[in-house]
Structure 1
Amino acid sequence: MKRANIFLTVTALQTDATQAVNSKTQFAQIEDYKIAYRSVGKGEPFILCSRFRGNLDDWDPAFLDALATKYQVITFNYKGLASSTGAPHSNILGFAKDVVDLADVLGFKKIIVGGWSLGGWVAQIVTTEFSERILHTILIGTKPPGKVEYPLEEIFINTAYKPDYTIEDETILFFEPKSKISSEAAIQSHERITERKEKDPKVKPELWEFYGKCHDDYANDPYNSRQKIMSTNIPILVISAHHEVCFPPENWFELNNKLPTTQLIIIPQAGHGPHHQYPKMVADYIDNFIQNIKYDG
């Protein structure tokens, strides 16, 4: 595949070691468009791919700060979405290429790649199509490539496409409404996220169709990624929840004994965003996995 011409930004990479809520939005120039990103912490580079409709503000800063004690954590907006410029991608490979292009601009030869929900699809395509760049893959609240047996729940669709989310909507989408523990965590996470003063633009509704194109491409799996993760030697960690309204963990169960490097954690009384409910615990799971399961390549 032809590589893009990439130019280093004039401004040096800035990092904030402790406060994701105060991290500055920066821009990586890639050909004739810019990828918006933020960086927090120091250490091995760890690029996180965002969810459907997610922008730079939609990561819980407590989760980013917990990871940033050990890693340089990069969050970003896909091309053409939120504060990134250019035309949005129409396939999952384009979304994945944003990760590699950003890594190139920032001077990262190898990275840890992570993704939440739709971002987990992106992270898996980065892993299978740019495997030489990946040390570890971290997947949160997502599904494997190709067709899956267990669909998302109707309540997720009915809620996910609302123009604006209330705390009640966020609880349905990312937590477990039946659990008092999870419902209280939803309020706390919401409050942490809204502390941020510098706001990122939301993804415009007229651009949501590009996520649908990304989904269809991922489900059709023209890259044979499902088979590729069955033979990879890159360590993969999947973190899910007992009540996943979007991507039930049962879709991973059917691949038991077929994924040689994948480990699965399921968190009780939690939903689609376990890292927002338990930011430090999930960050600790991730760090323990990275430190103890090494790439054999």
Structure 2
Amino acid sequence: MTSYSTAETKSVTADNGVDYAFRSIGDGAPLVLLQHFRGNLDNWDPALADALAQGRRVITFDNTGVGATTGRTPNTVAAMADDAIEFITALGLERVDLLGFSLGSFVAQEIALHRPGLVNRIVLASSAPQGASGMHGWHPDVIGAVGGRETSAEQYLGVFFAPTPTSLGAGQQAAGRIFGARTENRDTATSWETRQAQYDAVTRWGIPDHAKLQRLSAITQPVFVANGDSDPMILPRYSHLLAGLLPDARIKIYPDSAHGFLFQHHKEFADDVETFLAA
């Protein structure tokens, strides 16, 4: 099997006229990964992608206006979901599993609501429901670390990993894989315009509106909700709220980890995802 760190970057043109950049490794039932705020194809941990691709096809992509994909990044999660559906349809896929991370987990929820027949099972990592109180934008320390024009390795580690020697050590290893394993044909960096549009989408998603929480009852697919116990970006209590509102959900909180728990605990998380998807 081709490793994610050497996988070819391909492109497919959807009916909306957007050329979507994507990578695909493994064979079997398709698992589509939806990326976090400001992330592109290169921001997935190759170790996680390779582990997930044991026995299934893992597909990553840049949504509209992100990285090497054409078009303009929309400023609502709903529009991002419709764009993701355009990409999945362009690949000729009729039914997929979804793994959404952070902003990508918001998009995954909307895909399941907009096109329920497309989705089999859903994994929501570092996630929250739309309209939850306290989610209207991130804490100033968090957006200051990851939302500026320029960010540093220290700021990345401070948000994605817990302030303990074990978590920070795992974070340094993950950062080495994410930013160092692929040395050629790296993806186009996300633009400042994309960052602004995505953060607009995040804040709109977080406008307090308890009526929005009722929408989750329409997601009837099995859902695996996961988070790190020290996530400063999307607090674990939102994962518990989300799992409680979904009709068929299970939850796991990973210890001594934060927003990037799925990279720190990539082996355990991949095993948990496989067990869930194969159930």
Amino acid at match of 1:229: L
The answer to whether the 8 A contact 1:47-1:74 is kept is: yes
Deviation at 1:220, TM superposition (A): 4.7
Amino acid at match of 1:88: T
Alignment of 1:139-178 (within 5 A): 139-149=124-134, 152-177=138-163
Segments of structure 1 that go 5 or more residues without pairing to the other structure are 1-16, 293-297
Segments of structure 2 that go 5 or more residues without pairing to the other structure are none
Instruction: Give the number of aligned pairs.
Output: 274
Q: Which secondary structure state, in structure 1, belongs to the residue aligned with residue 262 of structure 2? A: helix
Deviation at 1:278, TM superposition (A): 1.2
Q: Which secondary structure state, in structure 1, belongs to the residue aligned with residue 19 of structure 2? A: strand
Q: 2:174 aligns with which of 186, 189, 208?
A: 189
Q: Which secondary structure state, in structure 2, belongs to the residue aligned with residue 43 of structure 1? A: coil
Q: 2:7 aligns with which of 3, 11, 23?
A: 23
For 2:118 and 2:171, the matched residues in 1 are separated by 35
Amino acid at match of 1:271: A
Distance 1:285 1:85, change over 3 A: same
Counterpart of 2:62?
77
Distance 1:267 1:69, change over 3 A: same
Q: Which secondary structure state, in structure 1, belongs to the residue aligned with residue 235 of structure 2? A: coil
Aligned Cα RMSD in Å? Answer: 2.0
The answer to whether the 8 A contact 2:227-2:239 is kept is: no
Deviation at 1:158, TM superposition (A): 1.5
Distance 1:107 1:221, change over 3 A: farther
Indicate the larger mover: 258-267 or 148-157.
Answer: 148-157
Structure 1 runs (4+) deviating above 4 angstroms are none
Alignment of 1:16-95 (within 5 A): 17-30=1-14, 31-95=16-80
For 1:183 and 1:214, the matched residues in 2 are separated by 29
Please give the per-residue CA displacement for 1:17-46, whole angstroms capped at 9, x wherever unaligned: 340000111111124320111111111111
Indicate the larger mover: 151-160 or 110-119.
Answer: 151-160
Amino acid at match of 2:278: Q
Deviation at 1:259, TM superposition (A): 2.4
The answer to whether the 8 A contact 1:18-1:68 is kept is: no
Identity %: 27
The answer to whether the 8 A contact 1:170-1:186 is kept is: no
With the length of structure 1 as denominator, give the TM-score of the two structures.
0.86
Q: Which secondary structure state, in structure 1, belongs to the residue aligned with residue 221 of structure 2? A: coil
